[in-house]
Amino acid sequence: MEAGGGYEFESKIKGGVVPKEYIPSVIKGLEECMSNGVLAGYPVVDVRVVLIDGSYRGVDSSVLAFQLVARGAFWEVMRKAGPQMLEPIMKVDVVTPEEHLGDVIGDLNSRRGQIHSFGYKPGGLKYVSTLRGMTKGRASYTMHLAKFDVVPRHIQNQLPTKRMLLLLNVPM
């Protein structure tokens, strides 16, 4: 799936091998796993799921059983897929007096920023207070999302996990 594509679910079940009333349970199990994530507890994005087969036994089948099987399938696929953690890449334009340029460049570099050009023009969310503090309130900036990119492995290893995850091997 293309980056930024979100989540798609498609059922190609034919012949009633999985009754239609259990399909929402499969979706719920998948969506719960996606929201809890597989890397440090961050949500999984850009996933396309196609349900192609299954089975149903009147005695053993239940809403919960289909949720659990969907979760097990999700974890199995994620282990094999090698998911990657993404981070937002922001385009930031900073306007600052020349005497503060060195401090601003140093700060952007400390945040793994890449400076593409300098220009003279007249005139993140937590960054505004840092920027104003180091320039005595005389600098300004604009920021917007440019894209998402893979978090470098050495940075990924330093990130705290958002929640502890217990991976269960659910037989299929």
Q: Is residue 163 part of a domain?
A: no
Residues 17 and 62 in one domain: yes
Predicted local confidence at residue 121, as pLDDT:
47
- pLDDT for position 22: 92
Quick one: 43 and 109 in the same domain? Answer: no
* Number of domains the chain is built from: 2
- Can you give the CATH number for the domain in which 13 is found? 3.30.230.10
Q: How much is the pLDDT for 63?
A: 92
In a domain, 162, yes or no: no
Residue 36 lies in a domain: yes
Residue 109 counted as domain residue:
yes
**Domain extent at residue 124:** 86-155
Please check whether residue 141 is in contact with residue 131, taking contact to mean a CB–CB distance below 8 angstroms. Answer: yes
pLDDT at 13 over 50: yes
For the chain, give the mean pLDDT: 81
92 DSSP 8-state letter: E
Q: Give domain status of residue 172, yes or no.
A: no
Say what the pTM is.
Answer: 0.64
Q: What is the pLDDT of residues 79-127, one digit of tens each?
A: 898 888 888 888 888 878 788 889 988 998 898 888 877 765 443 446 6
Task: Determine the angle formed by the axes of helices 101-110 and 127-134, rounding to 10 degrees.
Answer: 150
- Considering 81, 115, 131, which residue would you say is the last residue of a domain? 81
The tokens for 69 are 């099987």
Is the same domain home to 100 and 134?
A: yes
For residue 61, tell me if it sits in a domain: yes
User: Do 69 and 96 fall within a single domain?
Assistant: no
